[in-house]
Structure 1
Amino acid sequence: MNLRQFEVFHAIMRTGTVTGAARLLNVTQPSVSTVLKHLEAQLRFRLFNRIGGRLQPTPEAQALLPDIDAVFSRLAAVQRLTQDLAGGRLGTLSVAAAFPIANGYMARAVASFLTGRPGMRMALQSLTTPQVVDRVASREVELGVVHEPVGSTEVDTELLLRSALAAVLPATHPLARLERIPLAALEDHPVITYLPQNLFRFHVDKALAEAGISPRIVAQVTVSLTGIMLARHGAGIALVEPLMLRSLDFPGLVARPLDPPVAFETVLIRPRGTPDSTVLARFVAHLRDVLRAEGLLPEGH
């Protein structure tokens, strides 16, 4: 018996008539009759007796039914599996992101993506930008989210969003009354910013030099969160990426844009030449939706 014969036999057993089987399979009645005739000839025994316009299964047909039912149960399971895979509701996905991204909008995107997908499993790694690039280049993770520059030929990059550093300071600070803080206004205030090894330090130094000022840098940090905490404890004004201020609760602190802005780009990175899986493509689309909902990404991008 081939799969088509299984299908016709199963449909007749379910409906009790050739007409009903044809309707169920969306084929003509003669085609069902032909398949049934060939099947019985091949098996050398009858499967149905015609009684009162209906097909009455023979004992042989009843003996076959449990195993045929099992075949169609497995086919239905395969169909559900393919639908779940196509819908991004099943599978595994490993992603990595720079620390403030992983603990900010990336964590929210992963959590909301898993909602309603009980068969989905995800790994989210929080690393430095060079570590994220290394993990993606070595194909240990499928997707990375980092700040430019990336500086690796082993990954493909795609712009996710454009952002800017900000001044993080107590709400009671005199400069907090300004909607935007001119860089020149920082000249007489203690400043907290990144260590020279950090990718953002180049942007900060360049902006300060172009503004013609040399503020007193009282503390240098490796990650934005440390700078924010120092600002909270009164060490100075933190010139950092303000994402963690949006993600966590820091009473009494505010972030103000700088003028001119100290801009940077955030990119998605993937192993070079590797196409997205269905679930990865759906996650990236979901991530963009989360960014739009939070006002971090303009509509239409």
Structure 2
Amino acid sequence: MINLRYLEVFHAIMRSGSITAAARSLHISQPAVSEMLKQAESRMKIQLFERTGGRLTPTPEAKALFPDVASVFGRLDAIDRQVQDLAGGRLGNLSLAAAFPIANGYLTKAVATFLATRPSVQVALQSLTSPQVAERVAYGEAELGLAYNFESLSKAVEAEVLVDSAIACVLPESHPLAKYDEIDLKDLAPYPIITYLPQAVLRGYVDRALADAGVAPVVAVQVSLSLTGIMMSYYGAGIALVEPFLLTSLTFPGLVARPLRPYISLKTLLIRPAGASRSLVANDFVEELKKTINESQELLVRSYGSSFAGE
């Protein structure tokens, strides 16, 4: 049987035209190349080159063999490039699931930035509720999930805190409360507010904080999405009590964000399947995501004040 090393020597000689050049390309000695060529001809029982005047001339048999050998090494080169792309996180598939405000905000920026240098990576992104995100990850339908912290997280997943943020007020800059750097929950009492529907995970955060402050709010609108609440505030329906990160991704002229006091802590989780191996693509993406989140937090602080730096 002919082995791959003999074919490699034959391929190098055919491409370079001499034993000396082939030895240089293979990083071995000239005598070693000559010896392997002799062994290859002996194994195959055909003469591959005629030696005339110190030069090698391919025989008809060598010319007939070369296209198939070149095809083999072309495939090996392709495999080598694929390995390098996989090792560098430039090739593969990435399946993501994220809660609606996250999917419509900094996550989309992180994905776009990530793909800019990895055109061969394919991303699938599902926008869901936080419990649905954890469910998709648990069932293996998403490799990474981003969701707000909620009770009864499945043991089939593992989670780490990715962002520690807060519910805030989003309101027109002409609103009487917009002049304050921070807004006390008690100051909301006389004004119509926009909050989440009762079944939304973030509604529980808002209701508990208002109850603890002794505030019976005037609920004007209930929404399922932070974006819808922000748009409602933009058109004057009331003060939106929402997670404010979307304001770093979308432009709403005339709207401002103000932290609430007491601070309504809101944790965003990065969710993975418990005990599962982690792809290089996913690991690289998480690094890009964390960088994007840091940039968004800094923009929020620059745009709306240092109180958004957290507790």
TM-score (norm 1): 0.91
CA–CA separation in structure 1 for the residues paired with 2:295 and 2:215: 37
In the other structure, the counterpart of 2:159 is 157
Aligned amino acid, residue 140 of structure 2: R
Paired residues of 1:161 and 1:297 also in contact (CA < 8 A): no
Corresponding residue for residue 278 of structure 1: 280
SS of the residue aligned with 1:249? coil
From the superposition, tell whether residues 227 and 186 of structure 1 become closer, same or farther in structure 2 (CA, over 3 Å).
Answer: same
How far off is 1:104 after superposition? 0.9
- Say whether the 8 Å CA contact 2:248–2:296 is kept in structure 1: no
Equivalent residues in 2 for 1:209-228, closer than 5 Å: 209-228=211-230
AA paired with 2:218? R
Instruction: Give, in angstroms, the shift of residue 25 of structure 1.
Output: 0.8
Q: Distance in 1 between matches of 2:269 and 2:91?
A: 26
CA distance in 1, matches of 2:107, 2:42: 62
**Bigger shift: 127-136 or 150-159?**
150-159
Rate the CA distance shift 1:13–1:249 in 2: closer, same or farther, 3 A: same
Amino acid of the structure 2 residue aligned with 1:224: S
What is residue 81 of structure 1 aligned with on the other side? 82
Deviations 1:172-214 (A, max 9, x none): 0111011111223223323222233222223223323333433
Partner of 2:233: 231
Q: What is the CA–CA distance in structure 1 between the aligned matches of 2:12 and 2:220, rounded to whole Å?
A: 80
Q: 2:192 maps to which residue?
A: 190
| Cα displacement (A) at 1:167 | 0.6
Aligned residue-pair number:
298
Q: What is the distance in 2 between the residues matched to 1:19 and 1:297?
A: 61
Question: Percent identity between the aligned chains?
Answer: 55
SS of the equivalent of 2:263 reads coil
TM-fit CA distance, 1:283: 1.5
1:1-301 equivalences under 5 Å are 1-149=2-150, 151-295=153-297
| Aligned-partner Cα distance in 1 for 2:299–2:43 | 65
Per-residue Cα deviation, 1:50-106 (whole angstroms, up to 9, x for no partner) = 333332222222221111111111111111222222222222222111111111111
Kindly provide the amino acid, as one letter, of the partner of residue 75 in structure 2: R
**CA displacement, residues 12-32 of structure 1 (integer Å, 9 cap, x when unaligned):** 222233222222111222322
Q: CA RMSD in A?
A: 2.1
1:166, distance to aligned residue in structure 2 (A): 0.5
**How many angstroms apart in 1 are the aligned matches of 2:234 and 2:61?**
81
Unaligned runs of 5+ in 2: 301-311
1:107-136 Cα offsets, whole Å, 9 max, x none, are: 122222222433222111111111111111
Could you tell me the TM-score, scaled by structure 2's length? Answer: 0.88
SS of match in other structure, 1:239: strand
Secondary structure class of the residue paired with 1:161: strand
Instruction: Please say which of residues 219-228 and 134-143 is displaced more in the overlay.
Output: 219-228
